[in-house]
């Protein structure tokens, strides 16, 4: 929509403009230079203001929001500077999700979970297939979602969460696809299903955080730290459970969708398939062990494929609350409204990425490393809110893709002749999903049962 408005009314000058949606005014910012100002302005363009709306969306009571911004009376070991819970949580995210000791522990938990969940027996059983068969057919989207959501949940939370509500991971796709309805909260939208799911998740996390630590001993350090802080500061149980839902959703919401697109690009390009098997094979041992460090440091083609897929499929919006009148791009943004950046307009910028910006090129970021830091590439946000989870997201996807390529022979079904179409009509809070009916059916063969090598049937179709 923003692109069409720019073309029709502003001769593609990419100046900021305002639109009114459901009675709310939004300022749309689309030029790379203005976007830099958008991210660097932490005085009059507030992420904190938009965060209140996000917290309420996930179920935090609007009447108690102010308490989350109130500094505690006493300092603690985890909070020596007496920061409010919101800012402390942001610090804990950075401590846990940026490379360091606790991050290494999180990656190791993910590696172990993925290694187990991607075994032939677990894959076949989870999808209702014959575990003794030499080969099985899977929905690629289901495969990516179920393995990666389960693995991430086991990385963050104790397995007891599965016992509290076994259906949580299966419902995550519905929750992710419909969450936008809660953000816009209009009587014109049917939000009954997403509201019911939100309450279901809040109930599960209310039970989870009541459990003694010895029953949650396998959870990630950050989850333990957050629950401790919730209790120390006397946060209402419903609000703390809602914030844990945010943690849960943030970890699960987008990785499986990006993995689906990456695998789709690979399966439609036999040369790319062959090259990636060769590049990643040293990271996957014969017994299934995954060398996460090798994948992160020694796979430039995989890194380029990841970045290119993220550029083409990251279709969301970045928001800020306009606290007071703000000048950007020669325009005045009035206080009390919201400013937004349509990430797709940056990522489709032909002046930066070339006339073929809308086309996937596996080596685009390998050939031009400067694209990673250019103003037109913002998959993780920017400024003070630069996503701390970007390293974990990249490594979990690298590992999943490498496991599929090296542990199994994988082919798309013969009838899957057309590349899946993304759903760009629905609002998304991250990576676009495929349109309903645009999934790929893939044929996985366990090479150990055939005496063959993974990658022999590279990128082909099975009849």
The pair phi, psi for residue 459, each rounded to 5°, is 60, 15
pLDDT of residue 8: 46
Digit-coded pLDDT (tens) for 108-128: 999 999 999 999 999 999 988
pLDDT average, residue stretch 368-372: 95
pLDDT average, residue stretch 381-410: 92
Q: Which two tokens stand for residue 345?
A: 């307009």
pLDDT of residue 454: 57
Distance CA 419, CA 359 (A): 12
What's the pLDDT band for 286 if we cut at 50, 70, 90? confident
Looking at the predicted structure, is the pLDDT value of residue 247 above 70?
A: yes
pLDDT of residue 449: 62
**Is 416 marked as binding a ligand?**
no
Distance CA 241, CA 260 (A): 30
pTM, entire model:
0.93
pLDDT of residue 463: 31
pLDDT of residue 458: 45
Looking at the predicted structure, is the pLDDT value of residue 444 above 60?
A: yes
Digit-coded pLDDT (tens) for 23-44: 889 999 999 999 999 999 989 9
Looking at the predicted structure, is the pLDDT value of residue 249 above 60?
A: yes
pLDDT of residue 6: 52
Looking at the predicted structure, is the pLDDT value of residue 189 above 50?
A: yes
What's the pLDDT band for 461 if we cut at 50, 70, 90? very low
Residue 137 burial by Cβ neighbours in a 10 Å radius (0-12, 13-18, 19+): middle
pLDDT of residue 10: 47
Digit-coded pLDDT (tens) for 397-440: 999 999 999 999 999 987 778 999 999 888 888 999 999 989 99
pLDDT of residue 35: 93
- Percentage, residues of the chain above pLDDT 70: 94
Looking at the predicted structure, is the pLDDT value of residue 1 above 80?
A: no
| Cβ neighbours of residue 402 closer than 8 Å, sequence gap 6 or more | 280, 283, 284, 290, 295, 299, 302
pLDDT average, residue stretch 62-85: 92
- Percentage, residues of the chain above pLDDT 90: 78
Q: How many CB atoms lie within 10 A of CB 311?
A: 24
In order of their start, the domains of the chain are 71-314+348-462 (1.10.630.10)
Looking at the predicted structure, is the pLDDT value of residue 7 above 90?
A: no
Q: Which two tokens stand for residue 83?
A: 């920061």
Whose tokens are 């062959």? That residue is 274
| Cβ neighbours of residue 292 closer than 8 Å, sequence gap 6 or more | 107, 108, 111, 283, 395, 398, 399
pLDDT average, residue stretch 206-222: 97
Digit-coded pLDDT (tens) for 141-178: 999 999 999 999 999 999 999 999 999 999 999 999 99
Q: Which of 169-183, 259-273, 291-305, 392-406 has the lowest mean pLDDT?
A: 169-183
Digit-coded pLDDT (tens) for 317-361: 999 999 999 999 999 999 999 999 999 999 999 999 999 999 999
Looking at the predicted structure, is the pLDDT value of residue 457 above 50?
A: no
């Amino acid at each position: 929509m923003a692109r069409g408005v720019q073309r029709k009314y502003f001769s593609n000058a990419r100046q900021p403009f305002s639109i009114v949606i459901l009675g709310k005014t939004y300022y749309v910012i689309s030029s790379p230079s203005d976007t830099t100002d958008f991210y660097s302005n932490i005085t009059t363009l507030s992420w904190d203001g938009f965060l209140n709306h996000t917290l309420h969306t996930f179920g935090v009571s609007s009447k108690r929001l102010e308490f989350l911004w109130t500094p505690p009376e006493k300092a603690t070991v985890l909070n020596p500077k007496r920061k409010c819970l919101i800012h402390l949580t942001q610090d804990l995210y950075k401590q846990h999700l940026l490379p360091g000791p606790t991050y290494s522990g999180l990656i190791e938990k993910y590696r172990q979970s993925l290694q187990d969940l991607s075994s032939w027996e677990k894959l076949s059983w989870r999808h209702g297939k014959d575990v003794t068969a030499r080969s099985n057919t899977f929905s690629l989207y289901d495969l990516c979602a179920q393995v990666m959501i389960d693995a991430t949940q086991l990385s963050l939370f104790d397995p007891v969460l599965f016992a509290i509500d076994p259906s949580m991971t299966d419902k995550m796709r519905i929750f992710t696809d419909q969450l936008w309805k809660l953000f816009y909260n209009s009587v014109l939208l049917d939000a009954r299903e997403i509201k019911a799911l939100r309450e279901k998740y809040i109930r599960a996390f209310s039970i989870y955080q009541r459990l003694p630590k010895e029953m949650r001993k396998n959870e990630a350090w950050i989850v333990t730290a957050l629950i401790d802080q919730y209790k120390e500061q006397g946060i209402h149980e419903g609000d703390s459970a809602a914030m844990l839902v945010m943690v849960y959703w943030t970890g699960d919401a987008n990785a499986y969708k990006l993995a689906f697109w990456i695998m789709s690009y690979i399966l439609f390009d036999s040369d790319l398939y062959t090259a990636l098997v060769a590049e990643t094979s040293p990271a996957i041992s014969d017994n299934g062990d995954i060398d996460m460090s090798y994948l992160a440091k020694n796979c430039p083609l995989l890194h380029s494929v990841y970045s290119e897929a993220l550029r083409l499929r990251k279709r969301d919006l970045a928001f800020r609350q306009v606290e007071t009148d703000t000048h950007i791009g020669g325009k005045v943004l009035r206080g009390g409204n919201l400013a937004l950046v349509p990430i797709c307009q940056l990522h489709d910028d032909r002046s930066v990425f070339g006339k073929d910006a809308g086309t996937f090129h596996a080596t685009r970021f390998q050939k031009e490393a400067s694209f990673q830091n250019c103003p037109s590439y913002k998959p993780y946000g920017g400024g003070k809110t630069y996503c701390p989870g970007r390293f974990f997201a990249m490594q979990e996807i690298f590992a999943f893709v490498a496991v599929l390529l090296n542990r199994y022979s994988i082919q798309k079904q013969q009838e899957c002749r057309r590349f899946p179409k993304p759903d760009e009509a629905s609002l998304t809070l991250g990576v676009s999903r495929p349109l309903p009916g645009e999934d790929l059916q893939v044929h996985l063969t366990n090479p150990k049962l055939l005496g063959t090598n993974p990658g022999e049937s590279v990128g082909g179709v099975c009849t």
